[in-house]
Chain A
Amino acid sequence: MSRPTAVLAAAAAALLLAAAAAADAQVGPAPAPEPAPAAQAAPQPEQGAGGAVHRAAALPSEPAESVAPEDVVDVPVEFTVRNRNRTRSRCSADGESYTVRGHLTAPARVLEQRDPAVTLYLHGTNTGEWIWRLDVDGRNYVEEMAARGHASVTVDRLGYGDSDHPHGLDTCSGAHADIADQIVSRLRSGDYETGGAEPAEFSAVFLGGHSSGGLVAEAVAASFHSVDGLLMSGWAAVGITGETNRRFLAAYETCLDGGEPYARSGDPAGYVHFDSTEEDFLAGGLGEDAPAAVVQEVRRHYTRSPCGVLISEPAGILADLELVGDIEVPVRLVYGERDALRQGVEGYADLFTASSDVTEQTLPEAGHFVTVDANAPRFYDGAARWLRRHG
C-alpha cells in the first residue's frame, strides 16, 4: 500500500526537525583536556571529522601492523542463544532457543595470546553479516582488520542470512541486544562452536554496530555493561532522514498485513524488504562514488528482514536516547558524509555524557554502508588505531 507523498513528506519533515533539535539541544559536559600526543608519534587528524565535541584526543598514529593473509584464521562459528529480552529496551520475543551463525576472523597469533581482544560486529536492519565480509578485494572489513592485527567475530543476526529464522514478528531489536550479550559472554568463556577447533577465550570484547546494529550495541552496553567499547558506523539515534521514514512506512504497511516469507514460499513468515526495491536498497546504502565492484556485489544481498526488528526500532530509538547517557565505555562513531538515511548527526556524540572517551569520524563521499563504500580504508585505519588504543 502506498502512502501519499504529502503525508510522507510531513512525517519526514517532523522527524528531521526533531532529530536536529535533539542533536542541538543536548550538549554533554565540557570536553576533558586533551592529553599531549605521544612524542614519538606524529598526530594524525581524523579523516574528514566534523566539528562536534570530542572528549578524547585524536588517535595517535602508530606504525601500521601488517599481517599476511596466510597468517589469518577465518573459521565459521555458531552460538546457541535464547531469543529473549532482558534489556532496558523492552519488546516482544518468543523465548525460544536458536542458532546464530557467523565467522571468527583473526591473526592466528592473536588467538594464541594470553588475553586476546575481539570485536563482535552487528549489522543493521537491511543488511547482514556480509556487510563486514564483502567479497570485494580491499572491502572485506574483517580481512582488513585482521591485516591490521585485530580479531573480529561477525554474525548474521537472528532472522538473517545463515542464522535461524523464527517468525519475523517473534524477535525484536531488544532481543537482539540480549542475544548479542549472550554471545559476548560466550566469547569471554570460550563456550561456542568453531567447527571442532578449540574456541578462544577473549579477555576484552568490543561491540561494533552498523546502522541499527548500533542501536542494538548501545542497548547491550547500557543494559548489561558487558563490553569494553562501542565502535559504531552509520548509526545515530538522531538525524533520521525522510528517506529512512519513507522506507519504514512502506515496510510497516507490509508488516501490518503479516509480512512475507523470509525468502521463498514455505519459509517462516513475518519478513519484509526494508527497501521496497533493489534500486532503493542501493541508493539508500551506497554513495555515488562507491566502487563499481562494491555496487555489483552489494546488489546480491538484497534480502528481507524480520518485521519484529523493524517495528520495535522507533520505540527502541526513543528509549535509546535515554540509555546512551548511561554508557561509560569508550565510543567511536563513524559516519558517511553522504548517508541518505542519516544526516544532522553532529550533536550525537554529546549525548554520551557518561563516557569520557567519545570520538567520531566522517568519511567523505561515503553513503550509509560505510564499511564498504568510498573511503572505507580510512574507516579501517581509524578503527584499527582505536582498537589498538583501547584493547
Chain B
Amino acid sequence: MRPGIAAAAVAILALVCVAAAAAFPDEQPAEAAPARPGPERAAQLTAERMRRGGIADVPVEFAVENTNRSEAACNTDGAGYRIRGHITAPAQALAGGTATLYLHGLSSGEWYWRMNAPGYHHAEEMARRGHVSVTVDRLGYGDSGKPPGLQTCLGGQADIAHQITEQLKDGDYTATGPAAGAEPAGSGEDALTPEFDRVVLAGHGNGAEIAQIAAYSFGGADALVVLGWSGRGLTDRHNARFFGALAACMQGGVPAGGDSGPGGYAFFDTGPDEFADANLHDAEPAVVEAAVRLQSRHPCGDLANRLESVANGTRNYSEIEVPVFFAYGAQDEQVQGGGSHRALFGGTDDTELLMLDGSGHYMGLERGADRLHRRMAAWLDRESLV
C-alpha cells in the first residue's frame, strides 16, 4: 500500500470510530446524547424530510428480460426478472417531462443514490432542485432479481437499462406501493407511473460503462451522465482489486446474498476498511459507516467482460450524439483521466466536465456532494431536461 493510501486508511478508520459517537448534523438530538438513528429511523427521517419538502417517493418495479442485444456481446440467461427501485420527484412534477435513470456501480446498489443522510440522498437533492430521478437496484443487486452471477454482464445490463428507458417512456411499469413523502399531484395508479417524454441515463463507475453501452447501442437516451468512470483511466490500485475479484470469481465466487441465492458473486473490495479507503476520500463519519454497512457483492459476469467492453467501447463512444455531463472526484483512488475520457466523445459538441476537488470515487456521498447536485441540476436545466 502506498504511504498516502495507508495514511488515508488510518484516517478513515479513525473517522469510523469517531462516527460511532456522532449523528447527522440536523438530526442531532437536543441533548448531547451520542445516539444515531438506525437504518429504519434514518429512512423515516428521510421520508419526513421529503414530505416537508413536497417530494414524492414512489416504489416501482420493471419487468425485464436478461437478454443482450447491445453492441457489447456477453453472456446472459434470457430469463425474465424484476428490477425494483424508486421514482423520486417534486410531487407537483410527477407528470411526465424528463426522468433521469440512475445506474449504480459495481460495489454499490440503489442505496448509493438514496443514502438516508441529509444532503447525501441524491434523488432527494435532485428533487429539491426540480428533477425527477429513477433509481434501481441493477440486476443481481439488492431487491432486484438475481440470476446466476455468470449469466449477467455489462451488455445485458445495458439492454435492461434500455428496456427500463422504454418502459418509462411508455408508462409501462408498476408502482408497488403508495408514495412515501409527499402525495403526488394526480390520483390513481397513473399518477404514480407517468409516461416520461425524455430519459437521461446516468451511471456511476460500472454503471456509467453500462449507460455508455446503452447510449451507443440503442440510442434511446436523451442525454448521458458519466460519474467516476473512464475505462482507460483505471488506476493501478483499481486494477489490482479487479484481478483479485476476478480470482475470487474463478474460485466460483459466493452466493448472491448472505449464504443463499444463486452463486457466482464476489466482493470487489475485501473488507470494510478497504472498501471505505478505496471509495471515500472525504466523507462524514456517519456516511462512511452507513456505506460500509451497505457494500454490495457483484455478479461475476459484470466484472469479467469489462476488459472487452471497455476496449471495444472506445471505438463506439463517438457514436453518442446526445449531451453528456461528466463528473470526477479529483482524489478518486480508482478512476482518473476524466478529461481524456471526455475527449473520446467526438460525436457531440455538447459536453460538460466537473472535477470535484477533495472528493473520491463515491463523490455523491462525500462533503463535496452539494456541488455535484448543484452543477448537475443546473446542467439539466440548461439542456431543458426538466
Contact = CB atoms under 8 A, between A and B. Distances in A.
Interface in B216-265: 231-232, 236-237, 239-240, 242-244, 246-252
B250 A22 contact: yes
B174 interface: no
Residue among B76, B242, B249, B310 with max Cβ neighbours from chain A (10 Å): B249
A318 B300 contact: yes
Interface stretch (B42-50, B176-184, B311-319): B311-319
Interface string A1-38: 00110010011101101110110010000000000000
Nearest to B243: A11
B72 interface: yes
B73 A93 contact: yes
A81 interface: no
Contacts of B79: none
B308 A22 contact: no
Residue among B71, B75, B231 with max Cβ neighbours from chain A (10 Å): B75
A182 B194 CA distance: 49
Contact of B249 (A3, A11, A318): A318
A15 B246 CA distance: 8
A371 interface: no
A92 interface: yes
Given A11-B239, A85-B73, A92 B247 contact: no
Contact of B247 (A14, A249, A312, A319): A14
Contacts of B312: 92, 169, 308, 311
Contacts of A245: 243
Interface residue range, chain A = 35 or more
B106 to A, nearest CB: 15
A174 B74 CA distance: 10
Nearest to A1: B232
Contact of A92 (B73, B246, B310): B73
B150 interface: yes
Contact of B244 (A11, A256, A257, A307): A11
Contacts of B73: 85, 90-93, 172, 174
Contact of A256 (B240, B250, B300, B311): B311
B304 interface: yes
A219 to B, nearest CB: 12
A255 B240 contact: no
Interface string A218-258: 00000000000000000000100000010001001001111
A71 interface: no
B366 to A, nearest CB: 25
B68 interface: yes
Interface string B327-364: 00000000000000000000000000000000000000
Contact of B75 (A89, A93, A258): A89
Given A4-B236, A90-B68, A15 B250 contact: yes
10 contacts: A7-B240, A15-B243, A19-B247, A22-B250, A90-B75, A249-B239, A257-B232, A318-B150, A318-B300, A318-B304
Q: Which 10 A-B pairs have the closest CB atoms?
A: A18-B247, A11-B243, A315-B304, A18-B250, A14-B247, A315-B305, A7-B236, A14-B244, A92-B73, A318-B304
